[in-house]
Amino acid sequence: MEKSESHVMKEGSYGSVLMLQGTASDVGKSVITTALCRIFKQDGYRTAPYKSQNMALNSYVTEDEKEIGRAQGVQAEACGIQATTDMNPILIKPVKDMFSQIVVHGEPFQQMSATDYRNLFLPYAKDIVMDALDRLRKQYDVVLMEGAGSPAEINLKSNDIVNMNLAGWADSPVLLIADIDRGGVFAFIVGTLELLEPHERQRVKGFIINKFRGDITLLEPGLTWLTERTGIPVLGVLPFIDELKIEAEDSVVLETLGQKVADQREIDIAVIQYPRISNFTDFDPLREEKDVSVRYVRSNADLGSPDAIILPGTKDTIGDLEFLRMQGLDEGIVEAMRSGTQQLVGICGGYQMLGEMLIDPYAVEGSEPRSAEGLNYLAVSTTFLKEKTTVRVQGTLAVGHPLALDPQQSVTPIEGYEIHMGVTRCLNKNNVATLFQLERITGELVDEGWGTVDGRTWGTYLHGIFHNDTFRRSWLDDIRMKKGFKPLRKTYSSNVLKEKEFDRIAEVVRNHVDMKQIYNMMGIIDSNKQ
């Protein structure tokens, strides 16, 4: 239960820090950091998340229209605050193997190879990340710092700005998180400590073992051995949480969802999972609808004839379009549209693919200029430009659009965000219809997105479009009615669900982790919060 009175930071004070590192990638650092964000907020502390360097294609647009990693955006929401670029000052967005776009404080800085990034950029990055952290510590009572990968990656330690070097600069205690579900948890923990320098090991003040299934008494002898072996306490063992509904950042989670067989729900939706898929959390709200199954597919053999096919965002539009064709998915989409698929939808990069032509004259997505023919479903063409568009938007579905089905709504409201480096223009307005009308800061109404006049195929730059409850349900009910089912009309609130999930994961962590020890190691002594 959240306390009614907030802790007040004294003037001139400096916020406490705690760093969460992992024995490997995808062990649960982001989710546990999110839970602690909510716990400290509930306990009355002004709290902020921080990750100095993040590598992710699933990004987030801040209120001032800058780009950061999605995990820090979600964590800021758990803290009940607006996200800023100080929470993720450096974002790496892979474009090709060994080649990435570097985003600094929310704006594209340069495209660099992995070698150039390490040798030319990282030696000068300390000031960037520490200035951002200092600003956060002056504004907040608590800053929760998330590491990346493992601190024991000895080939990367000399230029580290995200794990143990950062913990030292910030003089932060470290919690080490390990995933027992993947096996070998004690070897992971002990091996990680063995590869740390003595001064680094001294920073590790506790372990959290994540994703445990079964009888905890069977694990206790190992926990006792681990504490005796390392002299570091196990602060908690978290149970495996099924169906966690907190937005993920790493597309590795799609491996558990990909190519899932439809489970006899009324609506079957297939999302194309190309190699550089981005902002896949756009489709999380669809998975929560009781009449919908969502499958992630990578080949024509797995596509079948779903009710809807979605081409998601991508960081390499032309390259992923080539992948789509190599997998025969272009032909599969044609056949599916002939044999019963009702909706073909493109979001951001997927929208660009649906057009007639993609042109990259400035090598925005690669090492040299190139162009490619699109899938020719929409009479539009896209040119990639050097400047990136990052903007939050709101508006309505275009008046009279066939998807505006809710009889209780005179207009269908929408909001979302754009992250793209392409401009898409209409080639023939006789063959397409405007999708959305957006309101700019000036009050001007502008058109966004194009679709076929029957509403069957459409594309938009708006990420988060299916987080709009009314629009989402109207779109699904249109599919239902064309299949002969009655419309459901009612749906859940994606915002309410998100808040409930923050509270749920916070309660799990409170019940299984020694929060008193965490407060003490951070130097926060407050009897009202113990």
**Phi, psi (deg, nearest 5) at residue 382:** -120, 135
- Angle between helix 494-512 and helix 70-79 axes, rounded to 10 deg: 80
**Phi, psi (deg, nearest 5) at residue 508:** -60, -45
Angle of CA points 279, 505, 55, to nearest 5°? 35
Cβ contact 62:76 at 8 Å = no
List 37, 348, 420, 467, catalytic entry:
348
In sign, the C-alpha dihedral spanning 103, 109, 111, 112 is negative
Query: What is the C-alpha separation between 312 and 335, in angstroms, rounded?
Result: 20
Query: What is the C-alpha separation between 36 and 128, in angstroms, rounded?
Result: 25
Angle of CA points 379, 380, 381, to nearest 5°? 135
Query: What is the C-alpha separation between 107 and 91, in angstroms, rounded?
Result: 9
Name the H helices within 210-346. Answer: 220-230, 284-287, 300-303, 317-326, 329-338
Q: Is 348 a catalytic residue?
A: yes
Q: Note the residue count of the chain.
A: 530
Q: Residue type for 270, please?
A: A
Query: What is the C-alpha separation between 116 and 122, in angstroms, rounded?
Result: 9
The candidate with the shortest Cα–Cα distance to 481, out of 286, 343, 304, 332, is 343
> Could you tell me the CA-to-CA distances from 97 to 57, 77, 317 in Å, in that order?
13, 32, 15
Give the H or E element holding residue 515: helix 515-521
Q: Residue type for 108, please?
A: P
Give me the residues paired with residue 417 across strands.
392, 463
- State the CB neighbour count (10 A cutoff) for residue 366: 16
List 105, 401, 420, 463, catalytic entry:
463
Q: Cβ-count burial of 450 within 10 angstroms (0-12 exposed, 13-18 middle, 19+ buried)?
A: buried
Q: Is 7 a catalytic residue?
A: no
**Phi, psi (deg, nearest 5) at residue 325:** -70, -40
DSSP-assigned letters across all residues of 183-246: S-HHHHHHHHHHTS-HHHHTTEEEEEEEEE-S-GGGTHHHHHHHHHHHS--EEEEEEP-TT--S
Q: Cβ-count burial of 7 within 10 angstroms (0-12 exposed, 13-18 middle, 19+ buried)?
A: middle
Positions marked active-site:
348, 463
